[in-house]
Structure 1
Amino acid sequence: MKRSLGAFWRMGAWLLVLFALSGSTAHAGSWVHGSYTNLWGTRGFQLWVPDGYVPGQRIPLVVGLHGCLQNPDQFAGLTRLNQKADAEKFLVLYPNQSTTSNGTQCWNFMLATNQERGMGEPSIIVGMVDWVKSRYWVDGQRVYAGGVSAGAVMTSILLSCYSDVFAAGMVGAGAMYKGATTASGSAYAMAFGSIYDPNARGRDAWSCSGQRRWPVPVLVIHGTEDSVVNPINGEQTVQQFLQTNDYGDDGRDNNSVPYAPTDVWYDSVPGGRGYYVKNYEYGGRLLVQKYEIQGMDHAWPGGDASYPFADPSGPDATTIMWDFFAQHAR
């Protein structure tokens, strides 16, 4: 009788282990839909669990932020980010802006409540990251964020105010942290560039993360003929994050991370667009990288042509983004 009872409890223990390993996860290569709520509101999200996901093996997490007039499905289709996740084995979290918060589904990056740590939409997105970490095997040293247009500006905010969460980020056809602080200022900045000094915003970004500050590696991709977000915004983003990293190494504005590329080269897509690449390195580490896509409008280069905002003639931004992320761990 004792042996039978012991066998029963051993079997129950194994069932509990199996449940713990599988009960809170999705089948590999599939979507998980959910929502997250905090004091600042509720937003839905979609999580892509890659093919080959195995509980117990920690993998990176990429936060993919859609632009205006987009949703997670459209952004995932445009970028083919899920296919890259399957190939490279990382999770992808797609926060979804609600139409009740913005009629065109733009992230409200220009509002003061969304430009500080622990507040607004950025806090909701970080809360989603924590939700994923609590249920899936995430490598906390390899959490990244990347977006296009309004999603790219939100990425600038996340990198600035949560450098302890994100190991690197990508700003595609976006703008710098606090490039605009009002709706009218946002319209001006998109058309002509921000009226604010990128160096001053660089210090603001360094301060926003509070006491737990880390280097902020960032990839900037912008078309030279962007008719929606003036290309000067891409250059201001580079300058802002170089200044943020200048403060980040020793807490002082002493040009220790200079505003000058350490390497520049030109390449082109066969039969497609040419592009310049500028690297900004410090201490042997690539901190900022900029791709200037010649002749490209407001688009995701190398994107799926069946979706809006794609420019298939450009280099594959999804591969460029992941290759940049893969170089960085917090």
Structure 2
Amino acid sequence: MTDRVPAGMAEALRLTRAGDLAGATALLQRLMRGESEAPPGTGPTIIDAEPLRVDAPADIPDAPPRRAAAFKPADAYRKPGSAFAGRFHSGPRAGLGETLRGLAARAMPAGLDLGVGGLARPAAEPLPDGASFTTASYGNAAGTRSYKLYVPANRRDGQPLPLVVMLHGCTQSPDDFAAGTRMNRLAEEHGCLVAYPEQPSSANAQRCWNWFNPADQRRGDGEPSLIAGITRQVMSDHAVDADRVFVAGLSAGGAAAVIMGAAYPDLYAAVGVHSGLPHGAAHDIPSAFAAMRQGGGAVRRPSARPVPTIVFHGDRDSTVHPSNGDDVIAQSGASAAGLRTTVEHGQVPGGHGYSRRVHTDASGLALCEQWTIQGAGHAWAGGSPAGSYTDPRGPDASREMLRFFLDAPRSRTSGR
């Protein structure tokens, strides 16, 4: 370690406290390389987000205080005169909390702390006897993706089970997403398989699904082909009810889930979208940030028959504009002739208020359901503090999604 390191780490601390996390990260990287300046224009352009902490109220059980709970845009380093400034960064970077923690651990002298904290680590729950949570992989011409699969103890040998495919958000992992959403616990309760495809940093520096790339928005190509391949591989390896296969995701994963429903309406019976964006909202990084900041505007509906969809979005989401939730619902056919719309309002005890808008057909089956969560940001509603980017103040998005999924899927998808 050179004599420059203590002064350099002090400068990194100053930049961090000033909100310039990009500058702090770049400085740490230069210090580790022993360089005084970073080489210009290295690495790919990526989308950046910063972990934001949310305090869980004391009356929510098993909710330790101040755990990582949400995303917020990195506006602190926006340059004047650019609609997207502060969102583009050269050089490969992981989530900022994780990057700063990892670099600081390797670069700073003993006893010197940046004071930026770190991401909460998932606390794995013991598996019930007879259940399993294992890793596998699938590959095709588009590449290879690993995934984790939860097989519940609550099953009968040979009886087809529902399958839920869960697409994590940026910087997350299957284990983190499973811990935060508690979906495995619900799968045990209802007897479901749950698959968690994993986006590697080699495909996106922040492990975001590339929902804004045209090649990753269509059937049979890119990431949709890999996610569909994972789904079909699980269906081949296990007894799965083909009429009860669902896909859901958070943020970039939510946008990817919308794409999967549009591209594979024959495979997925329903879609769950938390803090995501509509299909076709972007075609490159600038249009992605435009959609994230202000909504996608008029977005065309997919040519295929829309798949039943449930949407959750916080009305104070500053990372993905709440109007994107409206656009997802519009794409899912909420405005179709003959649908009946009902609205109810509720309040989680000690938590968030919400509105729930349900669009039903003539038989009373819900085709679209939209939850708008009052005062909530960019985080999985009702999730566990054991995982990242969750808001324990509810409502319970995982339970409501699974309820929506399992509610008469054969009748809802007949004639597709």
Q: Which residue, out of 55, 65, 73, partners 2:175?
A: 73
Query: What letter matches 1:39 in structure 2?
Result: A
Is 1:177 aligned to residue 274 of structure 2? no
1:141 is aligned, of 229, 232, 243, to: 243
Aligned residue for 1:12? Answer: none
Contact 1:242/1:257 (8 A) holds in 2: no
Select which of 296, 303, 309 maps to 1:218: 309
DSSP-derived class of the 1:276 partner: strand
Distance between the aligned counterparts of 2:239 and 2:232, measured in 1?
Answer: 12
Name the aligned partner's letter for residue 271 of structure 1. G
How high is the sequence identity, in percent, across the aligned residues?
Answer: 39
Within a 5 Å distance, the mapping from 1:95-110 to structure 2 comes to 95-110=197-212
3-state SS, counterpart of residue 123 of structure 1: helix
Equivalent residue of 1:104, what SS? coil
Matched, 1:116 2:221: no
Q: Is the 8 A contact 1:55 1:136 kept in 2?
A: no
Task: Give the secondary structure class of the aligned counterpart of 2:385.
Answer: coil
For 1:51 and 1:301, the matched residues in 2 are separated by 26
Shift of 1:144: 0.4
Q: Does 1:265 align with 2:356?
A: no
Q: Deviations over 1:232-281 (max 9, x none)?
A: 111111111117xx7xxxxxxxx5256xx610010110111110000111
d(CA) in 2 for partners of 1:278, 1:52:
32
Cα offset for 1:186? Answer: 0.5
8 Å CA contact retained: 1:280, 1:288:
yes
Offset at residue 31 of structure 1 (A): 1.2
Tell me, yes or no, if structure 1 residue 286 matches structure 2 residue 286. Answer: no
Q: Which amino acid aligns with 1:278?
A: R
The equivalent residue for 1:158 is 260
Q: Secondary structure at the match of 1:239?
A: helix
CA distance in 2 between counterparts of 1:324 and 1:206 reads 24
Q: Does 1:313 align with 2:393?
A: yes
Partners of 1:306 and 1:94 in 2: CA distance: 17
User: Residue 53 of structure 1: CA displacement?
Assistant: 3.1
Matched, 1:239 2:307: no
Quote the residue 2:139 is aligned against: 37
Matched, 1:47 2:144: no
Q: Does 1:229 align with 2:326?
A: no
The Cα offsets for residues 286-324 of structure 1, whole Å up to 9 and x where unpaired, read as 110000000000010111123221111121111100110
2:210 counterpart letter in structure 1: N
Alpha-carbon distance between aligned partners in 1 of 2:397 and 2:238, rounded to the nearest angstrom: 27
Which runs of no fewer than 5 residues in structure 1 stay unpaired? 1-26, 208-212, 247-254
Q: In structure 2, the residue corresponding to 1:56 is in which secondary structure?
A: coil
Q: Quick one: distance in 2 between partners of 1:241 and 1:113?
A: 22
3-state SS, counterpart of residue 242 of structure 1: coil
Instruction: Give TM-score scaled by structure 2 length.
Output: 0.66
* Residues paired across the two proteins, number: 281
Gaps of 5+ in 2: 1-128
Match among 150, 168, 188 for residue 270 of structure 2: 168
1:220 aligned partner, one-letter code: V
Name the residue aligned to 2:26. none
Contact 1:58 1:139 in 2 (8 A): yes
Q: State the distance in 2 between where 1:98 and 1:147 align.
A: 16
Q: Distance in 2 between matches of 1:105 and 1:241?
A: 27
- 1:158 and 1:53 map into 2 onto residues whose CA distance is 27
Please identify which structure carries the higher helix content. 1
1:199-255 deviations in whole A, cap 9, x for unaligned?
A: xx21xx124xxxxx5x51000100000011010111111111117xx7xxxxxxxx5
The partner residue of 2:354 within 266, 275, 294 is 275
What's the CA shift string for 1:42-90, capped at 9, x where partnerless? Answer: 1110000011333311110000110001010000000000000011000
Task: Output the TM-score relative to the length of structure 1.
Answer: 0.82
Please name the residue that 2:196 is paired with: 94
State the distance in 1 between where 2:286 and 2:224 align: 21
> Is the 8 Å Cα contact of residues 28 and 53 (structure 1) preserved in structure 2?
no
